[in-house]
Each structure stands twice: as structure tokens, then as C-alpha cells.
């Protein structure tokens, strides 16, 4: 695998699932008389039937299905999406449950997913007597009686890796919950207190917007309102970004006069924050192998008000445009392509779409990208390596191997780099390690490496 074929959401493809031939319309009056949740179960079953083929990411399948079912309202869409993602989070356990009963197992998966969203009592009237009896039996099963890999709904290979981590059971449990929605203010345009005050006077107040505990720019919502048409979003004052990702900017610590490279920029979320901290001064290059992802970043850059960002699509980690910057960058951020298992709260299908083979390919790619990015760092400059993974082979082991091959770099203490800006993170190693069960963020890793002068 080359850098050109890999990305953070490993396994995604440009081809989208086609639902145009099998479209589930909003229930007509006759269907409503039979019960809205009978129709809802059919909708969830249709989506799951496509998702569980593992040909496309779950969010891409849902997006295609919503486009084919434009008559559905917001509540309909929310219930379908939440039920599908619940099944993906608990798929191994649910599949064991679904082995009992009669009829298609897919139907029972849909029942379990919908029951988790609206409650089993709500859908009981839409089920057959046999289905109701089966659902009640499943409700009496104590998850503690199941094997831990089934209880945590992980494939064997991933459970083997995670079980080597500290307090792994609480980590697995946290990764199987729904994530809140983290927003980030644009410090080039507005401060967080001003935005929080504005949100209190809008319908968003029902989602209890609160400042994030670690990032000085973050706002956390309890729920997922549609924000794409908010004035604050449209004018570039707000972006969606997990708090853990926001902290990367503090580790990079860009100055207004710096040359900075975001080596795997993607759609530009981290780039925008780096540019804002530079007050739209200096030079900020956004590299990515996907011109399509960079194209998505361009309207965000325009909204942000930044003029110091230069997006550059590169062919691979050894592109000539990378080599031209050898030894010139003050700060380089490598948010590397990874398994994404730290984001399972948001992307639960990743644990079923990854494999030991893909982990091996990704770790080889990460090493190549890190080596290439390191060449861009000027003497005395800083290289920040990060992933949204909790697996040591993508994190600490990568850094150890890099340092062994590059004695000109030194590992800095991430907590000391952050200083008093994040005093309560509780890091016990030089690395930044974030976990949903401890910090309320996605699973995240970062290391700060400094090149000798």
C-alpha cells in the first residue's frame, strides 16, 4: 500500500451504494395503520443488508439510502441511523442473540437495534408473539455471562490487542457508546465564551452546550443537531472537531512567523486551527494524496478567513514537492493514516472492516510517511506524530523505531509541551494518550519529536 491509497477512514471507496432500485418510501396511511415501527424495521433491515456486505463505510451507505428516501423526516432518519450504528457497535453480541429464534437473523438484528433506540415496549405491539417472546428472553441475558470478546463485540484479533492495554475492559465499553458532538470555535474570528453565550439563546440550548475540559476552543453538545446551516458554521466561526484532535494544535505550537506543514491534512480540520493560531501569518502547507479531500477543505478555508494556507495534492510521501521543503519547516504535523480504532464510538464499522493484514499495511505506511515528513523539519524544529488509534504498534512502537533510526530527533514530554494549558490530563508517560473512558475524547495518541540544532 502506498500513501496514495490509504486514508484515515480505511476501507472507504469512491463508489457509493445504489439504493435507486430499492427505495423505501415514507409509510402511507395503510402502512401507518399497521404500525410505523413495522415500516421502520424494514428500513433498518434494508440498510443493514447493504452495510453488512462491508463493501462501503456505514456512513456512506446511510447517505446513499437517505438520498434515495428524500421524503423521510428528521426523526425517521435519526431512528434508522441510530439503530444501524447500535447494531454495528454490538454486532458480535447481537449475532449470538440472533442465532436463536426463527426466520431471518437480519430481522432480529433490526429488532435489537430499533429496541435500543426507541425501547422494546414501544415496538412490542409491532412484533409477532414469537418475536416478542424472543426479545424478552434476550433482555434477561446477563452480558457478564458472555465471553469478553463477545460482550465487547470485537473481532478476535482486535480483542487480543486491546486486552493487552491497561484497564482494557472500561476502554472497550466506552468505545461501544455513542460519542457526543464536539465543536471548535475559530480563534481567528471569535472566542468560545462569546459562542457559548450565543448558543444559550437558540434551540441548541436543549443540547446543553458546555466547554470541553481540556481544549480552550472546544464546545461539547449532548446530541447531534444539524449544524450545517447554522450562521456560526456558515461564516466559519465553528467547525466540527473532536477535542482530542484539537489538542494537536497545542502540541505543534505554531508561531506567526513559522513555516508549518500539515502532512496528512485530509479535509483540513487541523489545518484550520493551526492557521488560526498563526493569525493567518507565516506559511502553512496542507499536503494530502487525495485532491478530492483537499477540495473539500477549500470552502472551509474560505469561510475561516485564513489567507496563509496553501493546499497541495501530492502523489505520495516522496513527491518532489515534499523534497523541495527538506530542512525548511519549523513545525510538521503527521496525523497519520491509521486503523481508526480510537474512533469506534463514531465509526463502529471500522472494527469489522479492519484486519491484521490492514494493520500491517498501515504500520508500514506510517513508518514511510514519518520518515519522509522528518526530512522537512528544520534544525531545532518540531515533528508531531499522531493517530486516532489505541494500538501500540501504530503508536509507541512507531515512535521507538523512528527514534532508533533518527538519533537527531529527541522525544519531548507532551505534558510539559502543553504546560499549564491542560494541567489535568494526567499523562504518566512522555506521550499524549487520550481515551474515551478517561478523558471523554476519541482514543488518540501523539508524540512530540524535536530535531537537534
- Mean pLDDT, contiguous 10-residue spans, the chain (453 residues): 40 48 42 69 96 95 95 92 98 96 92 96 91 94 95 98 96 96 96 94 91 96 86 93 95 96 93 96 95 91 94 92 95 97 97 96 97 97 98 98 98 94 89 97 97 92
> How far is 3 from 69, CA to CA, in rounded Å?
36
d(C-alpha 386, C-alpha 261), whole Å: 14
Helix (H, G, I), strand (E, B) or coil at 15: coil
What is the structure's pLDDT at 313? 94
State residue 10's pLDDT score: 41
The dihedral through the CA atoms of 210, 213, 215, 221 has a sign that is negative
The shares of helix, strand and coil residues in the chain, as percent rounded to the nearest 5, are 45, 15, 40
Burial zone of 43 (CB within 10 Å; 0-12 exposed, 13-18 middle, 19+ buried): buried
Active site residue 264: no
Residue 16's pLDDT is what? Answer: 54
Q: How many Cα atoms occupy the beta-carbon half-sphere of 26 within 13 Å?
A: 10
Nearest to 240 by CA among 273, 214, 278, 262: 273
pTM of this prediction? 0.90
**String of b and e for 242-279 (b: at least 16 CB within 10 Å)?**
bbbbbbbbbbbbbeeebbbbbbbbbbbbbbbbbbbbbe
Check residue 15 and give its pLDDT: 47
Q: Using CB atoms within 10 A of its CB, is residue 347 exposed (0-12), middle (13-18) or buried (19+)?
A: buried
Distance spanning both ends of the chain, measured CA to CA: 34
Cell 489567507 locates to 307
Q: Which of 264, 376, 388, 422 does the annotation list as catalytic?
A: 388
Helix (H) or strand (E) holding 94: helix 91-98
Amino acid at each position: 500500500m502506498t500513501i496514495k491509497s490509504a486514508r484515515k477512514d480505511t476501507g472507504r471507496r469512491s463508489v457509493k451504494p445504489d439504493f435507486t432500485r430499492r427505495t423505501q418510501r415514507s409509510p402511507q396511511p395503510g402502512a401507518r395503520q399497521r404500525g410505523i415501527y413495522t415500516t421502520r424495521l424494514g428500513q433498518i433491515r434494508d440498510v443493514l443488508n447493504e452495510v453488512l456486505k462491508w463493501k462501503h463505510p456505514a456512513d456512506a451507505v446511510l447517505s446513499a439510502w437517505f438520498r434515495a428516501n428524500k421524503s423521510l423526516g428528521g426523526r425517521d432518519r435519526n431512528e434508522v441511523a441510530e439503530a444501524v450504528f447500535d447494531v454495528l457497535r454490538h454486532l458480535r453480541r447481537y449475532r449470538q442473540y440472533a442465532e436463536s429464534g426463527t426466520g431471518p437473523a437480519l430481522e432480529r438484528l433490526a429488532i435489537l437495534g430499533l429496541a435500543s433506540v426507541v425501547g422494546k415496549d414501544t415496538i412490542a405491539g409491532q412484533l409477532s408473539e414469537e418475536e416478542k417472546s424472543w426479545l424478552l428472553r434476550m433482555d434477561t441475558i446477563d452480558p457478564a455471562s458472555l465471553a469478553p470478546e463477545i460482550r465487547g463485540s470485537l473481532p478476535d484479533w482486535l480483542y487480543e490487542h486491546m486486552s493487552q492495554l491497561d484497564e482494557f475492559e472500561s476502554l472497550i465499553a466506552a468505545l461501544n457508546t455513542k460519542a457526543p458532538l464536539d465543536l471548535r470555535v475559530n480563534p481567528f474570528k471569535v472566542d468560545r465564551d462569546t459562542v457559548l453565550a450565543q448558543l444559550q439563546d437558540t434551540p441548541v440550548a436543549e443540547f446543553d452546550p458546555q466547554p470541553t475540559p481540556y481544549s480552550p476552543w472546544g464546545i461539547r453538545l449532548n446530541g447531534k443537531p444539524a449544524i450545517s446551516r447554522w450562521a456560526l458554521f456558515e461564516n466559519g466561526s465553528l467547525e466540527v472537531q473532536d477535542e482530542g484532535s484539537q489538542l494537536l494544535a497545542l502540541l505543534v505550537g505554531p508561531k506567526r512567523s513559522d513555516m508549518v506543514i500539515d502532512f496528512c491534512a485530509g479535509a483540513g480540520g487541523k489545518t484550520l486551527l493551526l492557521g488560526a493560531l498563526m493569525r493567518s501569518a507565516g506559511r502553512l502547507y496542507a499536503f494530502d494524496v487525495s485532491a478530492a479531500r483537499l477540495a473539500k477543505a477549500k470552502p472551509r478555508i474560505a469561510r475561516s478567513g485564513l489567507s496563509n494556507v496553501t493546499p497541495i495534492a501530492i502523489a505520495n510521501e516522496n513527491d518532489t514537492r515534499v523534497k523541495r521543503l527538506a530542512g525548511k519547516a519549523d513545525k510538521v504535523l503527521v496525523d497519520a493514516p491509521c486503523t481508526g480504532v480510537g474512533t469506534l464510538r463514531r465509526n463502529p464499522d471500522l472494527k469489522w472492516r479492519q484486519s491484521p493484514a490492514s494493520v500491517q499495511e498501515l504500520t508500514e505506511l506510517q513508518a514511510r510517511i514519518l520518515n519522509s515528513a522528518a526530512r522537512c523539519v528544520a534544525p531545532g524544529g518540531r515533528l508531531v506524530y499522531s493517530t486516532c488509534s489505541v494500538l501500540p504498534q501504530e503508536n509507541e512502537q512507531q515512535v521507538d523505531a523512528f527514534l532508533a533510526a533518527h538519533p537527531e530527533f529527541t522525544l519531548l514530554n507532551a505534558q510539559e509541551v502543553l504546560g499549564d494549558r491542560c494541567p489535568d490530563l494526567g499523562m504518566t508517560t512522555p506521550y499524549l494518550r487520550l481515551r474515551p473512558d478517561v478523558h471523554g475524547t476519541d482514543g488518540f495518541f501523539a508524540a512530540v519529536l524535536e530535531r537537534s540544532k
